[in-house]
Structure 1
């Protein structure tokens, strides 16, 4: 990725996102990040841009918090680059040991997100990461989990943001940084 500008990297990422109309149901245009993962240069571009953002905006970060399940793909790479830890926010019932959970609504129903009770310490500075921000339900729940854990959310980052669905508005006052917007 040496020699590529920020704009070059963003263009490469956007080119790799595949669009699937009517998936998973009629009227939905699915944005698929799998081609980014398949292409080492595109994956490096995502990690580079996230790392650049964190180093500029959140230099005191102590943990990267990845959301189930695609935040698990980008979060560990970023955490390793930054030399910080990585923790998981999962769907209810997927984590062993004592957990803390938050119920939230999605466009199609209700769900619960949870984290292991000892994953985040009170006062730790965290950045949340996921692949896509749509209506903001999952990211909102993750922010609420961080509040329950008494962590300090520095910001949220996603690869793709669907602006028309105003998910960023749902997670306010937390800020959202996205690489590609539709």
Structure 2
């Protein structure tokens, strides 16, 4: 199935020159959403996964159902100040500034195998920061999974040779 048919492309959003890939049109079609999660499940089923981690917010809508389908736990990665318990944090650069991601300090046990899932791989900043958080807790990142990969931005180059699977690639 070509999932591109269910992803709306919005030109010049959020600023001129950007071609935004809107997954809400895929998410609100229950059958296609389920098929996308099941296809991601098949692509990662040979990995030994103990947990899936997903950065907010769209990493939740990909990672949580994927964790459910695989029968493993889910770890939310949030912006700083959004989690209620003791956290670890890592900062990263945005196009116009900086941001910080956080995870509960007890979310991952040393040696656990973690897959990181998100909706989109672009420059790799969010995912490489997520990888850093998992590794701070002693987790082993066994791969990453995305609905969409923007190949021209070379985000996978920042992921240290970690296995990357994506359903849709835009050049």
TM-score (norm 1): 0.91
Is 1:141 aligned to residue 129 of structure 2?
yes
| Distance in 1 between residues matched to 2:143 and 2:26, nearest whole Å | 23
The unaligned stretches of length 5 or more in structure 2 are none
2:44 is matched with: 54
Q: RMSD of the alignment, in Å? A: 0.9
Aligned to 2:24: 34
Q: Where does structure 1 lack aligned partners over 5 or more consecutive residues?
A: 1-7
1:172 & 1:49 partners in 2: Cα distance?
A: 24
User: Residues of 2 paired with 1:142 and 1:51: CA distance?
Assistant: 20
Runs of 4+ in 1 over 6 A off after TM superposition: none
Q: TM-score, normalised by structure 2?
A: 0.97
Partner residue in 2 for 1:70? 58
- Higher-RCO chain (CA-CA 8 Å, sequence separation at least 6): 2
Match of 1:151 in 2: 139
1:124 to 106, 109, 112: 112
Rounded to whole Å, the distance in 1 between the matches of 2:77 and 2:106 is 12
The number of equivalent residue pairs is 170
**Residues 128-181 of structure 1: CA deviation (Å, up to 9, x unaligned):** 000001111000100000110110000001111101111100112222111100
Greater Cα shift, 74-83 or 27-36: 74-83
Q: Distance in 2 between matches of 1:106 and 1:158?
A: 20
1:132 aligned counterpart, secondary structure: strand
Q: Distance in 2 between matches of 1:22 and 1:69?
A: 22
